[in-house]
Structure 1
Amino acid sequence: MENRTLVLPNSHKTPLNVAVLAFEGMSPFHLTVPCIVFGDLSSHFTLKVCAESQDLLSTTAGFQLAASHGLDAFDSADIIIIPSWHMSYQPPSQALIAALQHAEKRGALVVGLCLGSYVLAAAGLLNQKQATTHWAFFDDFSSLFPDIQLETDMLYVECDNVITSAGTAAGMDCCLQIVRRILGSTEANHLARLLVVPPQRQGGQSQYVSVPMPERGTDLRLSQLLDDVLVTLNLPHTIDELAEKNMMSRRTFTRRFQAVTGKSFGKWLLAARLSHCQQLLESSTLSVEQIADACGFNNTVTLRHHFKKSFGISPSAWRKLFETPLSNNELRQKQG
């Protein structure tokens, strides 16, 4: 399957109509992500929150909300966003499926953020396409939709006039990418700064660097050993050294480590080093050279290679995403 080029709605039309689906039992956070992005650009986008029912909808936050529009708003929408879906999968209604299929056929941009990809998949909009979803639901998604090529190392996937994103924060990245493709980088970067989020995380960036730890009680000795590794990442830890400390043969340790963490020791250690590197870049003034030493990389070349391969960005560029201050005007805009 090829990852085909994204087809955008007519950006010469102003404003573009954006319809966001609300549903019973949803998380308000997922609803607010696209609403904040497109609602803050009212001169370019007209935002409508839609629902299948005009009744009050309960939320996971304990309050109710009412959508101002029904699914008929999809008929005139240039961009349709399904911001999430039920964590225990419930098939979407035939009415919702039909509305999405009709919108996709007439050329609307259809977006599934986080678990919203399930709805697009159920509607057949991801057939013969690549897609992604929240990392914790990869196995479940693949079992339900085995014919869809799931991309497990992507923040968002753009294909024809359909986009899917990974979980939570990646939904913000995806919405900003849509703004970027329609209005340009300057507008998207300005909005990102107001929202105090990184200006651009590429779709191909890994959505999560996993450093799995054994559950407490499953293997106390191994848990304690890995705790020790995490606070001494500057040291050159080896399998032989750790196997000896755990009173195991190299082979037994390797097999046990894989069974408990789901990763080889080498991959686990690299993920731990990279995660620590991210934290130091974001929160310290250490130089890249000092961070390379603190995280156990032999040199900055090795650090930069692995960092770029995992995150699609250099360590220095990552740091800049977190250090650029807002101007006084931008602060006033954010507060106002």
Structure 2
Amino acid sequence: METETTSAPTGKGTEAQAAAPTSQASADGHPTASAAGRLLGAADIRRIADEAGVSPTKKFGQNFVIDPGTVRRIVREAGVTATDHVMEVGPGLGSLTLAILETGATMTAVEIDPPLAERLPDTVAEFMPDAAGRLTVVNRDALTVTPQNMPDFNDDRSFTLVANLPYNVATPILLTLLERFDNLGSFLVMVQKEVADRLSAKPGSKIYGTPSVKLAWYGTAERVGTIGRNVFWPAPNVDSALVKFTRYAADDPAAPDSGPDAADRELTFKLIDAAFGQRRKTLHAALKQLVPSDVFTAANIDQTRRGETLTIEEFASLAKALQAAEAAGVATEVAR
């Protein structure tokens, strides 16, 4: 999908990221007296969809939020303020977009569906006109987003992602954005409940897997709430949940890639993929083509364990031990 950026409602030509916002939400997530406009309800959603000729599609995993209280709750959990720069992926018809703008924040919405991307600025102009200058809309697949084609965020020390993510691509989107944007400091996303459980799972649990451990490379994640099916149109067949993530600071000693002997992310992730690709096997069996026995010893990891019992720190230690062995000419297999 090629990029087409719209920063104002049709015919107004407002430039993106205009003057500083003048409205803000109160601590409980409800608009202050100075906040102009209102959020979308079920009737609004259906009318806008009808006017735009939009029908929710399984292709893009579209389920639109029709409850103002839910989107305010998402923004409140994310801690968005008027000083923040927010990325939203999959804004759809604008329910969450308006709740983010209600805080006074500046934001860029990434929408893959051309009709929805084209319609969104007009919806903001109708329901929250004072916020139109703080919105940029980019018609692009979120998996193709980079700092080069999304320069809005390049000057930010840190920005946040707030989104109702399509269930089928939520994990790839999160890991891709974290890899490409070093300044993506936090996110609050609504995803399928099972996906939320996997993203926040801890070692040793049945649902702990590749998404859990790879996300832990970048920071800490926790589930912060459950969302019922009745707040969506159309209603999905599963419940949803909120996941909150905070990235490690650059100098945080807990980060696997910190310090002079930091682990290599690409190599660490290669070991994770191999270990969970055969999760019922021991590390010795699952990683035999990649890791010699003496490297397990050097990393102080029992090779009879399974990958699902290892923390991200242990995977990183194994990668560092393998790096050291390769550098010393001990390892015969180069796992790259």
TM-score above 0.5: no
- TM-score normalised per structure 2: 0.30
Point out which structure has higher relative CO (alpha carbons under 8 A, 6+ apart).
2
Q: Which has the higher strand share?
A: 2
